[in-house]
């Protein structure tokens, strides 16, 4: 859709084709006026486009069907954005789901997501969580380490069941340097390394266990990966390992899970990632590798989190103070910040920020967008250009669908925002705003 705006605003909103501008200069998402949403639901407010989530899911399901061996399926990594309302959407799009804690299992199941489609991750599943997962018939456990393996076998044995597992192995790869066997990445708290021989050993031990059935291997090489080459390096290592497990243990994987990690652009200068093209590239590399080693085709899994939900979300804030420190810079403070979006504080992540009330005005006010916490690191973006806000203007931060709500906190006793889902532009409240009573209800005097 063409945007009736000029200059920098145009460049920024070109990140997304579902953002437009009303004649009054208000930002619209999927045709819904953000100032109406703010009026109805208050700020700060997370807004999610269900249509966009579904489009993102379909990029995966269509490419999987087209390029990967039969039975391959993507799983949504719930840690990116976990609340009940996401699961019916994910399920109806045909995705499986990753969970990393009993809390995520509980959330998914309470929303009607089928237990058999859950993959239970986590570098330290407690005995209680193992029992919780088994009792609720979680389809597959992704075993991280030896001690977890023994605990899982013990609990499965006591229930007289055979539990499907994947073994999480560490391929020793840094996706951002393309450094294979980078010791920094073998040195990880996640999974069991191939390079040291530990992965072979954990496979041999698992094959001896009467109550566990190994379907294959899992590995996750990182996040914000902009192309498929690191996945090809990962596949090389996994297939080489699979050839060795065939030789040593007569075991070839039925499932190879490549983890998550495709990037999304947060600012206009970030490269765009074509999921379909990248999956085609991975599949071609996989096919060549399978032929080279003479291995049977495994079902392929990937676990996208960010690339399913990040660009489907934006956060609306109300501008408070606008102050200029002469000779230094200007600050715009909003009624949220690191409590609803800790990613700048954690990683210095970049965001695209818009003055959603003045989309038709020039972006010529250089400022830093700060939150309201007593913490100088509480910022959302630095040195950005906006149409100069006045107190009460609506500020939109784009691409906040992933790792915002799921990482939110109550620091400074700030209640967590509400979350609204837009379906074909129609809003429905999916998570209520936290209240002060919510803040104190578990506390005893
Ligand atoms: C974080 C994570 C994912 C999801 O990563 P994204 O970058 O959000 O796609 C998938 N699998 C595992 C094991 C993870 O730790």
Question: What CATH number corresponds to the domain at position 148?
Answer: 3.20.20.10
State whether 289 and 378 are in the same domain.
no
Q: State pTM to two decimals.
A: 0.95
Would you state the pLDDT for residue 179?
Answer: 57
State whether 36 and 99 are in the same domain.
no
Burial per residue of 315-351, b for 16 or more beta-carbon CB atoms within 10 angstroms, e otherwise:
bbbbbbebeeeeeeebbbbbbbbbbbbbbbbeeebbb
State whether 264 and 405 are in the same domain.
no
Would you state the pLDDT for residue 175?
Answer: 76
Provide the annotated active-site residues.
374
Candidates 305, 347, 405, 406: which one to mutate for ligand 1, based on the most atoms within 8 Å of Cβ? 305
The residue ranges of the chain whose pLDDT is under 50 are 1-10, 181
CA 356, CA 334: separation in Å to the nearest integer?
Answer: 13
Mean pLDDT, all residues of the chain: 94
Q: Is residue 3 part of a domain?
A: no
Consecutive H or E run containing 21: strand 19-21
**Domain stop point among 309, 344, 378:** 309
The rounded Å distance from CA 235 to ligand 1 centre is 17
State whether 424 and 364 are in the same domain.
yes
State whether 301 and 344 are in the same domain.
no
- Site residues for ligand 1, CB cut-off 6 Å: 77, 79-80, 98, 121, 220, 223, 259-261, 303-307, 402
Q: Is residue 2 part of a domain?
A: no
State whether 273 and 356 are in the same domain.
no
Crossing angle of helices 127-135/146-159, nearest 10°?
Answer: 40
Query: In the chain, how many domains are there?
Result: 2
**Domain stop point among 269, 290, 309:** 309
- Which numbered atom of ligand 1 lies nearest the CA of 303? 10
Candidates 57, 78, 79: which one to mutate for ligand 1, based on the most atoms within 8 Å of Cβ? 79
State whether 42 and 91 are in the same domain.
no
State whether 73 and 166 are in the same domain.
yes
Query: Domain of 353: which CATH number?
Result: 2.40.37.10
Would you state the pLDDT for residue 411?
Answer: 96
State whether 347 and 302 are in the same domain.
no
Would you state the pLDDT for residue 425?
Answer: 97
> Measuring CA to CA, which residue among 70, 73, 66, 120 is closest to residue 94?
73
Would you state the pLDDT for residue 206?
Answer: 98
Identify the DSSP state of 162: -
Domain that holds residue 346: 19-49+310-440
State whether 134 and 24 are in the same domain.
no
Identify the DSSP state of 425: T
Secondary structure, 3-state, 23-89: CCCCEEECCEEHHHHHHHHCCCEEEEEHHHHHHHHHHHHHHHHHHCCCCCEEEEEHHHCCCCCHHHH
Give the angle subtended at the CA of 393 by the CAs of 389 and 399, to the nearest 5°. 90
CA 395, CA 134: separation in Å to the nearest integer?
Answer: 45
Q: Is residue 25 part of a domain?
A: yes
**Domain stop point among 292, 309, 326:** 309
Q: Is residue 319 part of a domain?
A: yes
The rounded Å distance from CA 168 to ligand 1 centre is 13
The rounded Å distance from CA 11 to ligand 1 centre is 29
For atom 15 of ligand 1, which residue has the closest CA? 220
CA 73, CA 303: separation in Å to the nearest integer?
Answer: 9
Residues 365-409: pLDDT tens digits?
A: 999 999 999 988 999 999 999 999 999 999 999 999 999 999 999
């Amino acid at each position: 859709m063409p945007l009736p705006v000029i200059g920098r605003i145009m460049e920024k909103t070109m990140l997304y084709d579902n953002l437009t501008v009303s004649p009054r200069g208000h930002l619209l998402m999927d045709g819904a006026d953000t100032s109406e949403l703010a009026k109805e639901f208050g700020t700060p407010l997370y807004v999610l486009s269900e249509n966009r989530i579904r489009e993102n899911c379909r990029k995966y399901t269509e490419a999987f069907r087209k390029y990967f061996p039969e039975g391959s399926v993507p799983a949504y990594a719930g840690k990116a954005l976990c609340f009940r309302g996401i699961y019916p959407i994910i399920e109806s799009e045909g995705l499986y789901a990753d969970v990393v804690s009993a809390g995520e299992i509980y959330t998914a199941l309470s929303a009607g997501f089928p237990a058999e489609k859950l993959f239970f991750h986590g570098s330290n599943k407690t005995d209680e969580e193992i029992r919780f997962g088994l009792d609720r018939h979680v389809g597959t456990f992704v075993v991280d380490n030896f001690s977890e393996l023994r605990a899982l076998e013990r609990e499965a044995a006591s229930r007289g069941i055979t539990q499907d597992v994947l073994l999480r192995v560490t391929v020793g790869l840094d996706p951002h340097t393309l450094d294979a066997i980078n010791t920094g990445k073998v040195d990880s708290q996640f999974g069991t390394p191939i390079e040291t021989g530990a992965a072979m050993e954990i496979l041999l031990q698992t094959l001896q266990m009467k109550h566990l059935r190994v379907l294959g291997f899992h590995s996750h090489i990182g996040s914000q990966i902009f192309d498929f080459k690191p996945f090809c390096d990962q596949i090389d290592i996994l297939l080489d390992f699979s050839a060795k497990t065939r030789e040593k243990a007569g075991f070839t994987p039925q499932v190879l899970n490549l983890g998550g990690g495709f990037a999304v652009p947060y600012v206009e200068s970030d490269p765009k990632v074509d999921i379909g093209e990248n999956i085609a590239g991975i599949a071609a590399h996989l096919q060549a590798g399978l032929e080279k080693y003479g291995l049977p085709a495994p079902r392929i899994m990937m676990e996208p989190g960010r690339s399913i939900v990040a660009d489907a979300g934006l956060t609306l804030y109300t501008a408070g103070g606008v102050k200029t420190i002469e000779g230094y810079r200007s600050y715009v403070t909003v009624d949220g910040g690191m409590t609803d979006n800790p990613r700048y504080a954690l990683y210095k992540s970049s965001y695209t920020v818009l003055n959603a009330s003045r989309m038709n005005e020039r972006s010529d006010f250089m400022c830093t967008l700060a939150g309201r916490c007593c913490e100088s690191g509480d910022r959302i973006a630095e040195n950005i250009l906006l149409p100069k806000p006045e107190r009460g203007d609506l500020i939109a931060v784009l691409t906040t669908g992933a790792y915002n709500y799921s990482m939110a906190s109550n620091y400074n006793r700030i209640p967590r925002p509400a979350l609204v889902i837009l379906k074909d532009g129609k809003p429905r409240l999916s998570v209520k705003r936290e209240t002060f009573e919510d803040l104190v209800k578990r506390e005893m005097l």
